Structure 1
Amino acid sequence: MKFTKSVFYLLSILFLSSCNKDDNKIDFTFLQLNDVYEIAPIQGGEFGGMARVETVHKELLEENPNTMLFLAGDFLNPSLLGTIKVDGERVRGKQMVEVMNAMNFDLVAFGNHEFDVSEKDLQKRLNESNFPWISANVKLKTKEASIPFYKEVDGVKHSVGETFVKDFIDKDGTKVKIGFISVCIPSNPKEFVEYGNMFVKARASYAALKDSVDVVFGLTHVKLANDKRIAKLIPDLPLIMGGHEHTNSLDTIGTVIISKADANAKTVYVHRISYDKITKKAIVKSELKEINATIKSDEKVAKIVNKWQTILSSKIKNVIENPEEVIFVANTPLDGRDTPIRSRQTNLGQIITKAMSFGYDDKVDCALVNGGSIRIDDQLSGNITAVDIFRVLPYGGDILKVEIKGILLKRVLDYGVLAKGTGAYLHRYNAEKVDAKWMINNKELDPKKNYKVAFSDYLLKGFDIPFLTIDNKDVLSVYQPKETEISHDIRKAVVAYLKSL
């Protein structure tokens, strides 16, 4: 009897050991967001909301503890919240970092809009963040040299890495070492930022990493065309989680999957990945998940979001009276989505440019605004409030009345059309192209004539249209409105125009 029990015990141990034997296969999950500017739900609470994303995050962690949460760039700016002052300082993304800290992000990439904020403010956000950042091609310019960006914690500087490594182990003991590379599009030149060639740096960082890890993934913030080129240059990447575009997409170049979710967490990508250490192959199954009102908000994150929303409601009253007043009813949705707003004339762009003319009592020949100034990436429908308009145009700024030569106006208009698909695409009022001819207020543009044009002040800085600056000899005069005039703030002009309808 003793012998039988001993054999049974031994066989049980052997059986359990065989069940827990390392099978060289491991599953892990990536939760991807990109281009998130709003911490609260959008479109009347219907979509988005970081508290809802955190609920999904926790569910995935329960499903598989080997889960990572990513943001593929663009989160510090722009947002209406970021423009307000708290304790004498502009928020400048502080609200986003606080929310992301509570969500325990595993890795974030630099996006071009991280450099909208000043060097000082960016350093504060880096120092405040409890999550790692990554980039191979952006460096901090100092007087002495270009160095990696860094976080300073308790007086100690921790450099942002060109690569990032994560170790996973599963229940049967399979271990895997995962590497990440990242690059950012050089579309936001700043004196304190040095951009390296994104393709050269992507290849170099991959080469430096590949022999020390089992598998490498991409976390990028570049145009889709750039991601496709990276996929061709580095065909062994199973997945590139990308940002910059604001509309979801899933592309495959060779065996490389390129994924982008919708901006403002309207959707997220869930990537369930199985890796075989023997074959060294990763099988990626990607699911686009809509973040909507059916998902319960995580209480901890919701508390932080609500705190910031309360601050916003209070502060906005210092800028405009009755911010929650319904100023217009949009029976047809006003289209401010990123892709159309940068590609064609939309009804929202038309309203903004009409309001710019309205701001000067229609005593201008035409009005122009760049699509990149319109940041809502959403459709506004039903009751529209003043706060909605401030979210559409978070940067604000003057409407300038500029006297300009016809030959330069034509060049500007042509450039705006050619810039289709970018933030330099121009929305127009009283400027239309008919049969290859530009018509200004229904009359053919005369290159020899002078015109009065209402411009958003950003356009005269030469960032989107390099030759359009106040120093151009064909810019004859620039009128800057006084603080008492509604044209002093493009948002107030739009509010006033809509209320007049």
Structure 2
Amino acid sequence: MSYIPKSYRKFMATVTTAAVVASMVAPAANAAEVKGFPDVKEDHWAAEGIYSLVEKGIISGYEDGTFQPNKQLIRGHAAILLTRALDLPIPTDLNSFKDVTKKSGYAEAAAATKQAGIFVGTNNKFGGSDVLTREQVASVLVRAFDLVGTDKEVSFTDMDKVNLAHKDDVKVLAQHGITTGTDSGKFDPKAPVTRATFATFIHRILEKQTDNYKLSIMHTNDTHANLDSVAKRATAIKEVRAKKKNSLLIDAGDVFSGTLYFNEFRGQADLAFMNYLKYDVMTFGNHEFDLGSSTDGHKALAEFVKNAKFPFVSANVDFSGDSLFNGIYHGGTIAEEIKDGQIYSGIVKEVNGEKIGIFGLTTEETADISSPGKVKFQNYIDQAKKTVKAFEDKGINKIVAVTHIGYDDNAEYDNDLELAKAVDGIDVIVGGHSHTQLDKPVVIEKDKNGKEKDPTVIVQAYQYSDFLGTINVEFDKNGKVVGQAGKLIKVAEKAEDAEAAKMLKQYADKIKEVKNSETGAATTSDLTNPRANDTSVFSVRSNETQLGNLITDGMLDKAKEYNENVVIAMQNGGGIRAALDKGPITLGDVLTVLPFGNTLATMKLTGAEIITALEHSVSQSPKEHGGFLHVSGMKFTYDSTKASGERVVSVEVKGKDGTFTALDKTKEYVIATNAFTAKGGDNYAVFKKAYEEGRVTDLGLADWENLRDYVIKLKTVDPKIEDRITDVAKK
């Protein structure tokens, strides 16, 4: 069920397990001379595996004629074995682990396997003489042989004893029948691996060898100019490539907008790193079109495309109406001769001898939440079907959609779940837009009518370059997905790539200067951000504050630019992180107040649902609660002495004429909040339900940018306490 690359086959034909392990302890006997090991009788549980490998010249015994099946395998010897098996490059720097000296017999192997991501060690220690346990070998074999998971259930009775770091790999090993466990139904994860066990595992892997094809993809999305961690992202990418040299690297859009790096460099800083990291392809996010209404229009986007050392794909975006894209836009083209800095509907890339079709899709909602100008958007389902057929007409049966339509975003527009159900032939969807953290791939195996279909695997890697997504997909000879395994690699845990760090400095130094620049606005007094302490219960997480009113007023003002029906704005107190001191407001000040880069979203709620949300907001009052909501466009009272869920006394909504009227429980209102809260953050179940029902639209506007724009608009910043939130128990 798993494809074994040629590098493994080469090893299996020439290098033996015992030659590596035994050479460390005793001269090995010639396998051809061995008729039978006295310590491995025909009825030995591992005899079939051992003698099968002996017959193939893959394994041999010791000089004394024995096999020593119960001899334990240590990490150093396993590293040497895998280095030879994979023909891993030896790093010039052998200081891979602090407990491995350059003089060590396995220094080169330790460094090579670390670089390849096979042995990662603990606390930067390799433990070369430590015996490998069964759970550790599971991870080693899964990584080394690129085994991928299936849907088969694993029923070992001691899975709760398996270390979390190895649990998924133990399952994969069992799903492939490589490990069957003990007679009592256990896996025995902490037991040492012996030569007999290792020989059996290798034998079973070889027996299951097929001609299936495996594709490896790294992916990012919604990075939004978050470059402070890019040197660590570079390390994560290089580590994956050291193990899987032909992995594709794909971005699913929204590189533009979000931090001062974009404001200052208009995407060119991000592009420098994407070129350095050798991205293979990118699709467009809605934020790539943010500058369309500016004096220069899409000049920055056109330059971003032209300077890229990779192509762009989007089958449903029509750039033909904007002359800035003349010569680089090839609408309707499926390119096999790919040129960098060009826009195609789709491209064909050859990876490991197989042709892969890759096409892009961008949300039609861009017309409402960005500034596309003369750029037009077509129906994603229609264009996906058309493009998939074009690939299939070329005989291509492995197809990847790179999408910026959201995993489970507003279905009235588009999303990945609907795409997977509606369009046959898409094998993998690398997604973005909804900032969804899919820790594991999601597999869709039924169409929109509930009928069984070939699997479509969906992945997405959250936001802001917090993770590097990875996915391995296994195809049968007909191009059907028969296995998949994926995970998110936490970028923050990686060391910085030296070259990328050096590149970043020139941009980061400039940003430091910009952070100190003044917005032109100033506060007339200190806008505090209080927290409860020994002498006061007043807190941004339990009380109305001037700063909370300023932020929500800014949210409401910005949201109305995109939807005039928005009447209320809400901001969770836990998202407000610092005060604004009296005097000039700098960009750095704004970024410190709202450091998370949460985006602005609108949501349709009934009056009854708004009351439910407000009940949750004050459920812990007067105690602090990160989900305590600051509001604009409304005011409400509550009684903190009453039972949670029964506290809200009155709610009023501000009309266009400035007067307040009672909230109608049956009426639908449009509110604005940040995307974190809109998706159910801080346990807002009522918001989560609305999100899941497609009643949320993420405008994609960073909260700090909204606040910046609002204070610039005000110039003199002087918010007041207006009794927007009143606890009647304190009156």
Instruction: Report the TM-score when normalising by structure 2.
Output: 0.44
The counterpart of 2:289, out of the listed 82, 96, 115, is 115
- Evaluate the alpha carbon distance shift between residue 435 and residue 486 of structure 1 in structure 2; reply closer, same or farther with a 3 A threshold: closer
CA distance in 1, matches of 2:462, 2:574: 14
Letter in 2 for 1:197: N
Partner of 1:266: 466
Aligned partner letter, 2:261 = L
**Post-superposition offset of 1:435:** 7.4
SS of 1:220's equivalent? Answer: strand
1:438 and 2:618 matched: no
Distance 1:65 1:253, change over 3 A: same
Q: 1:140 aligns with which of 319, 342, 345?
A: 319
Q: Letter of the aligned partner of 1:445 in structure 2?
A: T
Letter in 1 for 2:221: N
Question: Which residue in the other structure is 2:507 paired with?
Answer: 308
Q: Which moved more, 1:186-195 or 1:350-359?
A: 350-359
Is this contact kept in 2: 1:356–1:490, CA < 8 A?
Answer: no
Higher mean C-alpha deviation, range 386-395 or range 301-310: 386-395
Residue 295 (1) aligns with residue 494 (2): yes
1:356: how far off? 5.8
Residue aligning to 2:240? 60
For residue 202 of structure 1, give the secondary structure of its aligned residue in structure 2. helix
Q: Which residue of 1 is the match for residue 251 of structure 2?
A: 71
The answer to whether the Cα contact below 8 Å between 1:25 and 1:275 also exists between their aligned partners in 2 is yes
Identity of aligned residues (%): 19
Is 1:98 the equivalent of 2:272?
yes
Q: AA paired with 1:228?
A: L
Q: Cα gap change, 1:239/1:132 in structure 2, threshold over 3 Å: closer, same or farther?
A: same
Deviation at 1:137, TM superposition (A): 0.5
Separation (CA, whole Å) in 1 of partners of 2:544 and 2:278: 38
Residues 74 and 112 of structure 1 are in contact (CA less than 8 Å); yes or no, is this contact kept in structure 2?
yes
Q: 2-side partners of 1:491 and 1:179: how far apart? A: 52
Taking a change above 3 Å as real, the CA distance of residues 358 and 105 of structure 1, as seen in their structure-2 partners, is closer
Q: Does 1:251 align with 2:420?
A: no
1:420-499 correspondence to structure 2 within 5 Å:
428-429=631-632, 431-432=634-635, 438-440=652-654, 444-445=660-661, 487-489=711-713, 493=717
Residue 247 to residue 229, structure 1, CA distance change in 2 (3 Å): closer
SS for the counterpart of 1:192 is: coil
Pick the aligned partner of 2:221 from 30, 34, 43: 34
Q: Structure 2 matches for 1:225-236, cutoff 5 A?
A: 225=408, 226-236=415-425
Normalised to the residue count of structure 1, the TM-score between the two structures is 0.62
Q: Is residue 187 of structure 1 aligned with residue 365 of structure 2? A: yes
Instruction: Please identify which structure carries the higher strand content.
Output: 1
Counterpart code for 1:96: D
Partner of 1:232, secondary structure, is: helix
Q: Per-residue CA shift, 1:100-120, capped at 9, x if unaligned? A: 111111111111110012321
How far the C-alpha of 1:130 sits from its partner, in A, is 1.1
Counterpart residue type for residue 142 of structure 1: G
Counterpart for residue 230 of structure 2: 50
CA RMSD, Structure 1 to Structure 2 (Å): 5.1
Q: Secondary structure at the match of 1:243?
A: coil
Q: What is the rounded CA distance, in whole Å, between the counterparts of 2:430 and 2:246 in structure 1?
A: 17
Render the CA deviation track for 1:285-308: whole Å, top value 9, x for unaligned: 11122221x311112222222221
Following TM superposition, by how much is the alpha carbon of 1:61 offset from its aligned partner in structure 2, in angstroms? 0.8
The one-letter amino acid paired with 1:230 is: L
Do the aligned partners of residues 486 and 227 (structure 1) sit closer, same or farther apart at CA in structure 2, a change above 3 Å counting?
Answer: closer
Larger Rg: 2
Gaps of 5+ in 1: 1-13, 42-48, 85-90, 170-174, 333-344, 360-365, 396-410, 421-425, 448-455, 457-463, 466-482
Query: Paired residue for 2:549, among 344, 354, 359?
Result: 354
Contact preservation (8 Å) 1:76, 1:93: yes
How much has 1:430 moved relative to structure 2?
Answer: 5.9
Larger relative contact order, structure 1 or 2 (CA cutoff 8 Å, min sep 6): 1
**Per-residue deviation at 1:64?**
1.2
Structure 2 Cα separation of the partners of residues 219 and 348 of structure 1: 44
Residue equivalent to 1:131: 310
User: CA deviation digits over 1:87-128, x for unaligned, max 9?
Assistant: xxxx22221111211111111111111001232121111111
Q: Which amino acid aligns with 1:27?
A: K
What secondary structure sits across from 2:344 in the alignment?
A: coil
Q: For 2:530 and 2:279, how far apart are their aligned partners in 1?
A: 37
State the match for 2:142 in structure 1: none
Q: CA, structure 1 residues 26+387, in 2 after alignment: closer, same or farther (shift >3 Å)?
A: same
1:218 aligns with 2:401: yes
The secondary structure found in structure 2 opposite 1:39 is coil
Amino acid at match of 2:550: A
Query: How far does residue 191 in structure 1 lie from its aligned partner after superposition?
Result: 2.0
The separation in 1 between residues aligned to 2:241 and 2:572, in whole angstroms, is 30
8 Å CA contact 1:389–1:495 kept in 2: the answer is: no
Closer/same/farther in 2, CA of residues 66 and 372 from structure 1, 3 Å limit: farther
Distance in 1 separating the partners of 2:401 and 2:654 = 47
The residue that corresponds to 1:160 in the other structure is 343
Unaligned residue ranges in structure 2 (runs of 5+): 1-55, 59-205, 292-296, 331-338, 409-414, 446-454, 521-525, 533-539, 563-568, 581-586, 598-603, 614-628, 637-647, 664-671, 673-695, 698-707, 722-731
Q: Partner letter of residue 247 of structure 1?
A: T
- CA separation in 2, counterparts of 1:291 and 1:315? 26
